[in-house]
Chains A and B, each alone.
Chain A
Amino acid sequence: MLGFVKRRRSLLALLVVSTLVAAIAAKLNTSGNLVVAGATSHVLVDDPGLSIVDRTALPQDLQTLQARAELYGRLMTTKPVLDAIAKRAGIPADQISGVADITGNVPIQFSEAGSEEHASQLVASNAAYRLELQADPSEPILSVYAEAPSLHQALRLANSAPMGLHDYLRALAARQRFPPHELPQLRPLGSARGGITNSSARIEIAGMTFITAFALAFIGLFLLIRRPWKRREAEDQTGRPAPRSRLTERAAGDWPRTTRVLPWSIAGLIAMFWLTPFDQLQLGGASAPINITLDRVVLPIIAVIWLIAFAAKAGPGVAPRLRITPVHVAMGIYLVCAFLSVVLDAHYLNHTGELAISVKKVPLLVSYMSVFVIVASSVRRSEVPAFLTYTLILAVIVAIGVIYQYRSNTDVFTSLAGSLGPFKLVGLDPTNASVLDSLGRRWIAGPADYGVELVLMLSIALPIAVLGILKSKTRRQYLLHGIAVVVLLYAMFATGRKSALVAPAVVFLTMVYLRRRQLLTLAPLGLVIVVIAIAISPASLRNVFSQYAAPNASHVATVDSRVANYDAVRPDLWSHLLFGRGQGSYAPPTDRIVDSDIILPLVETGVLGLVAFLMIPVSVILIARKATNNPDPKLAEVAVCGVSAAVCFIAVATLYSVMSLPHGPDVFMYVVGLVVAALGAEDKALANPRGKRGEVPALHVVRAHRPVRTAREHAVPIR
């Protein structure tokens, strides 16, 4: 034990110091009163004499009173009425604010605040005492929601609000010489009820702060002690022999010809990403008390398998190998930005009731990145081509399912997933395909939540099919890959989304840039594919193209709201410039619907967060770009797939909020993981014999150096 402590004393010291720093940071960030209490009261706006409840009333009488309730709700957000309420509640007048919700049936533009209004809302959200007023759309009842730093104050505020309004109306009546007994009556419907709304806030803030501070302190001190910029020379002089694997026979083979659990688990995970609406499959169905979706069960199981393999130190070929690449760094920085965005703004998020959603969204980000880390460290370089082929097969299966859905209005994915053991489908209807959206498009999304998400998934798989045509050696392979391209494109157009044109176009343009000469040879086949696509389904193509060709194409609701978002988020951006207002905190109904993963990270994680977010696909491009001309066609293929996926991800991120829905980022993350597994290593044992920087050794070199040997491997030629 003592020996262990002595050997690891620097590591232990590092852990102790980091823990101390984290504990101090957590203590500081949880100081002050974090309690937010809420209380509710209801008021009936009534006639001065006999109550409308007790007398005969025409519908217009009720409407008249309902309009008063609405008007009084708005009045209670203005300064003179708020002053009167503050006086009644015994609180400082400059610490109270009010907002009134529009409850009537109006276009969405009325409920989405523009830049000027939102700036005003931000000011109101900072007040210690807040009122939210909602008039019932059909009854003369006004609901008062009050928030205050203690339950007693919240209850008092909720009870005082109608009295403050009444004071104001009496004063107004006096000024106008209006008989006070003819004023509308504000009859409270019982006294206010309330409770503490954020009982776990202190723990959540402390936990988030501790984790963030610990990670930052540990990494900072680790870098300071290890000084990687000094280390390289020392490493070069160490000529340690490569450890040998304990694996033999079939266990030592590459996936799918292996019995190793980890790659098979990853294959299962990938199948789940492609074939199931996993985020809609809930354990025990909609009535279950806890929301445990399929991915929340499968991913931890795989993470545990990964950790066991990692901890077992089983040697090369078994244990995951963690190598830090620029992609890891970019993801790490983005994760740090996301954590910091919540930690630094924790008090405000707690105050506005958005902390809980932020605390939920950060682990979601961690889960996306864990997919990448697991795949990048567990999949062997020589296994990557097989995983890409597997991806293409799954994509084609999905595409066929989508085409069937387009043709028959039956969602096979939700129909089949409805009977997946204890997991029950929630929120999705297999007959959703017949429902039309605001632009008259059918809701076709396959296993994903939205059509554009499906388009991203299929676009990521598209280069595998195109490159498959290029490398085909037999007519059968050529034909099969050609059919795959047609099926993928057809499925994308079947979604009816405009991005069905943009995403594959971006992928093709990227591939044309990277593979100019080879793709020229495919020009005749491209023409054939276009003709076939038009012949098979002219309607789906026409649907997509007509959305671009229509006279008002640039002024449809979806485009207008997206463009308006760029101005509307300016107050949030300028008030939280560096680290944003908190990961996951910008969400309806209090905020606008933002369909862009450029704007959303900018608002939620600030300019630094956006830069870090964009660095993820950019780092993929940087590491894969150099290998696109690698003499080994398999490595070059992986590199082209990686660059295409990254460029497509950036393009699609401008069109919808990629990270808000799980299918797109999960597929992107595992594909990036495969690319990094193939290209990201800088293993000296696998170094390029020519020793040129930036070049990755060919797969046959990898295989020759791999410390795993099987009889089968020597017998089977490398394909």
Chain B
Amino acid sequence: MGLGIRLRKLWHLKLGVLISLVVALLAAFLSVYNVGPGGVTPRSLAMATASAHVVVDTPKSIMTDLRQDIYSIDSLVNRAVVLGNVIASSSVEEKIAQEAHIPGTLLRIQAPLTAQQSALPVNSQNQRQITDIIKLNDQYRIQINANPTVPMLDIYAQAPTATSAAALANAAVDQLKAYVANVATRQGTPPKDQTRLVQLGRATGIVINPGVQYQVAVLAFILTFLASCATVVFVARVRAGWRVASLSGSATGT
């Protein structure tokens, strides 16, 4: 019944409904496009992902050579954690951003967690917050997982476009390789003793939510239209109340 009453009220407030419609359409447009001094630009709503996998290996590969025993593997597992942290270091992070052609300030790299450090450090730039859920997708992020039992690094990149996500994942591997090679050269480490980083296929990016802009626009339209219609009904009630008060005031002469 109450719903019927409100719908009937709206039926009589056609101008209000029309205004609500216009406001909702505007909200739908603004939810998808950014209007600024640079003109109309699309908002970053798409979320793209790419992943790269690296085996931290020795010149005689642990993948093929069974003479590399469990102790060698364990030492490589520990080395993988160190190398994962190297990727998250500021100098490598900066080079990754350069290679991927993104501003360094926008890039966030999360170093691998370990059994000893199983949560993100307090005050880390990657510290999670409740407000994370309402953030847009204009973020460039890399998460590095070091497998706790085998010497593998899983590098997951997230960016607004498929190209930038793939570029980030590949750049992380490239820059890690460059760093390791640079250290080996500086220290004169013989090739047979060097750590080998084997990337298992180049990363390719993919957008996980194609067509999200339509969903956002529909959502913005529905929510704004409902809120706007509720406001129209509320304003109409206030106006009616004001008129009644005014009439009763003039009738009593106050």
Contact = CB atoms under 8 A, between A and B. Distances in A.
Nearest to A611: B223
Contacts of A183: 64
B61 A178 contact: yes
Nearest to A180: B64
Contacts of A645: none
Interface in A261-313: none
A539 to B, nearest CB: 29
Contacts of A574: 45, 47, 137, 208-209, 212
A182 B60 CA distance: 13
Determine the main DSSP class of A at the interface with B. Answer: helix
Q: Which are the 7 A-B pairs with shortest beta-carbon distances? A: A79-B201, A228-B4, A229-B8, A78-B200, A119-B49, A116-B156, A116-B143
Interface string B46-82: 0101110101000011111110111101000000000
Interface residues of B, number: 69
A571 B49 contact: yes
B7 A228 contact: yes
B61 A578 contact: no
B42 to A, nearest CB: 15
Contacts of A115: 141, 143, 158
Contacts of A116: 49, 110, 141-143, 156-158
B143 A117 contact: yes
Interface string B1-13: 1111101100100
Given A77-B53, A106-B148, A682 B1 contact: yes
Contacts of A114: 110, 143, 156
B113 interface: yes
Contacts of A573: 133
Contacts of B49: 116, 119-120, 122-123, 571
Interface stretch (B22-30, B95-103, B114-122): B114-122
A597 B222 CA distance: 23
Contact of A123 (B71, B202, B206): B206
Given A575-B212, A682-B2, 6 more contacts: A110-B118, A123-B206, A178-B61, A560-B119, A570-B47, A575-B47
Contacts of A81: 200
A611 B222 CA distance: 11
A508 to B, nearest CB: 24
B132 interface: yes
Given A116-B141, A574-B209, A169 B63 contact: yes
B128 interface: yes
B154 interface: yes
A577 interface: yes
B150 A67 contact: yes
A229 B63 contact: no
A577 B152 contact: no
A184 interface: yes
A221 interface: no
B219 interface: yes
Interface in B105-137: 110, 113, 115, 118-120, 122, 128-133, 135, 137
Contacts of B154: 117
